[in-house]
Structure 1
Amino acid sequence: MRRLALILLLAAAPASARETIGIYKGWGAFRDPGRCYAIARPVLANGRTGGFASVGTWPAKRLRASFALRLSLPRDRETPVTLSIGERRFPLVGTDRLLWAPDAATDHALVMAMRSGRSMSVSAVDPGRRPFADTYALAGAAAAIDAATLSCVMRP
């Protein structure tokens, strides 16, 4: 539940509260009061908007490099969601649109795979039982994650 609250905060932060740390290819690194994060929009979502993938650090919550994703469409909560990075597959859990890793070990492995991967794709099924996927380019992700993490470590 704590992760859900943090993800909702990420999605709801006003743009005026953000400090840009840097832009790294398709990924941006930002700082808000109390947190820093790397974030990107999908490069392929079949015209849908509103999706994003992020890796955030919240020093006061002792969370570092924690993955969160917002789907470009609501999903059927009865079906599993899978994130693919290269040959690796990771289960995700969450609400109809907001997702995260089911545990700390998966979270860590997923972020490490992002650092060396070329792309990642999240596959889900919408409430009408139609499959869909959001695809992200990972070029710049490692640099954005590092910049965001260092920004929070240097200025908590």
Structure 2
Amino acid sequence: MRGNSVTHAHKLSIVLFALTLSGAASPSNAQDAGANRLGTFGDWHAESYLEKKGKKTCLMWTKPLKSRGKYRKRGDVYMYVTHRPWLKKSNVVSFLAGYNYKKDSEARALVGGAKFVLFTDKDVAWARSARQDKALVDAMRRGRTMTLDGLSSRSTRTTDIYSLTGFSAAHDAINKACGVK
């Protein structure tokens, strides 16, 4: 991995979230998992649900407004912000690419004038630390759109453009539901 390293605690949070992405936290499975829908806010959806042993998790998600790239087939694409107060984790930002990223590649996010370099693992891009997660969330609360550039395992460059309309309201909803300040 190039650049800043990923902290151990942040990596643990990422592993747990990745496991959740494959199950209950997937928007397509939210209804089946008993998710409590907190609402739709502009282009963002917010919900909470109970993980193992009744541990409350809150997340918000959206799909890109536009996606560009010379690909033939691509899976579902989402951006998430997740709180797991029982792990003392909040504002974990992640991007599900709809393809596997090229090994050791980085994804790049742009919000307003703020640029963020994210690390990738399989089909997910993540912030490198809790500090970077917070900076991303702060930028998204102020921004209008976010652009994410990535490189697939087949060396296909993609650009996803996300609306931030409703981001702050959805973030306020998950903060309240999970007691995060």
With the length of structure 1 as denominator, give the TM-score of the two structures: 0.90
Question: What is the one-letter code of the residue matched to 2:64?
Answer: P
Deviations 1:14-58 (A, max 9, x none): 422211001001101101112011111111124844111111111
Alignment of 1:107-146 (within 5 A): 107-146=133-172
1:68 to 87, 91, 94: 94
1:35 and 2:40 matched = no
1:106 and 2:132 matched = yes
Question: What is the one-letter code of the residue matched to 1:38?
Answer: M
Question: What is the one-letter code of the residue matched to 2:58?
Answer: C
Q: How many residues align?
A: 154
Q: 1:114 is paired with a residue of what secondary structure?
A: helix
1:9 and 2:20 matched = yes
Larger Rg computed on CA atoms: 2
In structure 2, distance between residues paired with 1:104 and 1:19: 26
Aligned to 2:43: 26
Q: Please state how far the C-alpha of 1:78 moved relative to its aligned partner.
A: 2.9
Q: Please state how far the C-alpha of 1:130 moved relative to its aligned partner.
A: 2.1
In structure 1, distance between residues paired with 2:165 and 2:22: 23
Q: Please state how far the C-alpha of 1:11 moved relative to its aligned partner.
A: 4.1
Cα contact 2:105–2:120 (8 A) shared by 1: no
Q: CA 1:135–1:72 in 2, change beyond 3 Å: closer, same or farther?
A: farther
Greater relative CO, 1 or 2 (CA 8 Å, sep 6+): 1
Alignment of 1:41-56 (within 5 A): 41-46=63-68, 48-56=74-82
Gaps of 5+ in 1: none
Q: CA 1:73–1:103 in 2, change beyond 3 Å: closer, same or farther?
A: same
In structure 2, distance between residues paired with 1:79 and 1:67: 18
In structure 2, distance between residues paired with 1:88 and 1:11: 30
Aligned to 2:6: none
Q: CA 1:88–1:94 in 2, change beyond 3 Å: closer, same or farther?
A: same
Gaps of 5+ in 2: 1-10, 51-55
* Higher mean C-alpha deviation, range 65-74 or range 38-47: 38-47
RMSD of aligned Cα (Å): 1.7
